[in-house]
Amino acid sequence: MENQSIPDIRPDYNAPNYDPEKIAPYTLEDPLTFLDGSKVASPEDWKRRRREILDIFASEMYGQEPPVPEELVTELFEEKEDALGGFAVRSQYKMWFKKDKSGPCIDWLLLRPRYVDKKVPVILFLNYRGNQEIVPDEEIPVNDVWYGFTGDHKAPVGRGIMMNPNQATYLPIGMLLSAGYAVMSANYCEVSPDPDWNEKGEFDQKTFAYTGVFDLWGKRDETRTDNTTALGAWAWALSRGLDLAERIPQLDAANAVVTGCSRLGKAALLAAARDERFAVCVPNQCGGGGATLAKRDFGENIATQMNMFSHWYCKAYDKYKRNPARLLTFDQHLLVAAVAPRRLFIQGFNKNWFDTEGEYLACKAASCVWEFLGKEGLPEGTFPASFETSAIGRDLAYYRRSEEHGLAAIDWFHLLIFASAK
């Protein structure tokens, strides 16, 4: 059956589909074919095709990429040479985007191994609840910003809670440092607050979401359908973190790893797609709007995304929600492909809402680009079971797991093996 025989409107398009039998037939665009029908024939051609793909996502889904800041002013405001029992150097930086240090500011926390006599690669990610949750140090200030995960919108303290292995999200900082990696993070609400769909008044998604770094980009033109989005802003911030890493002599920024979980996994994938400086990308449990094929319309879908997370996507994306299989002219395998030939590892979550099989299929559909560019594609095989590693290749990889939603120790373990492979 061709897509032309599928109706433009699925009657229950606002409800997530959890029945595999109801997945409509769909076709995926060839990553190696230009919009005009011509074929990608060389690596130089791929550069142009990649730009074409990024332009599609900018106009139709994630909004236009924010501009590079007029200035990038960074200031080291605290450093401890013997943190974490003496095995780490802890550094804290403030980052402004104007020469006079006015306007938005982001605090970055850096932890790097102390007893290393060479540059170390850095793992970059945005965190949900503040830098103080990464390690239990009183010297790490609690950000004075709005927080969407607390009822009173005040910053939770929870010092070092990410080092608690009983938490769904666990940061095994000792393991990462021992493996020769530095870790750099900032709180995503400092970049752009993330109001819930139930927020009203001053915290409404339609206005409050576009504060923070959005203040740098002037008044929004609400007649446009491709305005910069929150996901675009978070991805932009990850690139600014890489800018900082490039200024720190002890870091090997050329081998930087970008990661993140859930919505921040989507941001990590978008950052790597847009910014070729990221050598390795490991989006964790990013689901719909990230690596999952939207045309499958399984679990989270465009309608739920536009209803619940309107600030994550631009207005243009709304027109596809009535029947993605019929109406979409692109899909997430193209975003996955835009990372090639750099290294990408999609870590899925085995819950229907996230449709991680759709992530696996996106990797399969994008694999041809890595192979075309002389890299290893996704290993041959079928959709792997949870915790199975058969689809983890050298340059393009996929695996999934069950249990809780969050970055777990096993996810970091596989990240390290993948990122460290020679």
**Rounded to whole angstroms, how far apart are CA atoms 292 and 400?**
13
Query: 135, 88, 82, 79: which is closest to 113 by C-alpha?
Result: 88
The answer to whether the CB of 414 falls within 8 A of the CB of 172 is: no
**Rounded to whole angstroms, how far apart are CA atoms 335 and 53?**
7
pTM: 0.97
- Tokens for 160? 């070092």
Dihedral through CA 172, CA 173, CA 176, CA 181, nearest 10? Answer: 160
- Tokens for 212? 């923070």
The DSSP line for 278-305 is --EEEEES--TTTTS-GGG--BS-HHHH
Q: Half-sphere exposure of residue 386, counting CA atoms within 13 Å on the CB side?
A: 9
Reading the chain (422 residues) residue by residue, the pLDDT tens digits are 345 566 788 788 999 999 999 999 999 999 999 999 999 999 999 999 999 999 999 999 999 999 999 899 999 999 999 999 999 999 999 999 999 999 999 999 999 999 999 999 999 999 999 999 999 999 999 988 898 888 888 888 899 999 999 999 999 999 999 999 999 999 999 999 999 998 888 999 999 999 999 999 999 999 999 999 999 999 999 999 999 999 999 999 999 999 999 999 999 999 999 999 999 999 999 999 999 999 999 999 999 999 999 999 999 999 999 999 999 999 999 999 999 999 999 999 999 999 999 999 999 999 999 999 999 999 999 999 999 999 999 999 999 999 999 999 999 999 999 999 98
**What pLDDT, on the 0 to 100 scale, is given for residue 218?**
94
Element spanning 184, H or E:
strand 182-187
136-144, long-range: CB within 8 Å, 24+ apart, which pairs? 136/160, 136/163, 137/80, 137/83, 137/90, 139/78, 139/80, 139/90, 139/92, 140/90, 140/92, 140/109, 141/92, 141/107, 143/107, 143/187, 143/189, 143/190
**What pLDDT, on the 0 to 100 scale, is given for residue 154?**
87
Largest CA distance in the chain: 66
**Rounded to whole angstroms, how far apart are CA atoms 104 and 237?**
12
**What pLDDT, on the 0 to 100 scale, is given for residue 6?**
64
The answer to whether the CB of 236 falls within 8 A of the CB of 66 is: yes
**Rounded to whole angstroms, how far apart are CA atoms 220 and 228?**
9
Cα→Cα distances 165→101, 130, 162, 350, 390, Å = 38, 18, 8, 20, 26
Per domain, the residue ranges of the chain are 1-60+286-404
CA angle 191, 107, 157 (to 5 degrees): 90
Cα→Cα distances 158→57, 65, 143, 398, Å = 37, 34, 12, 32
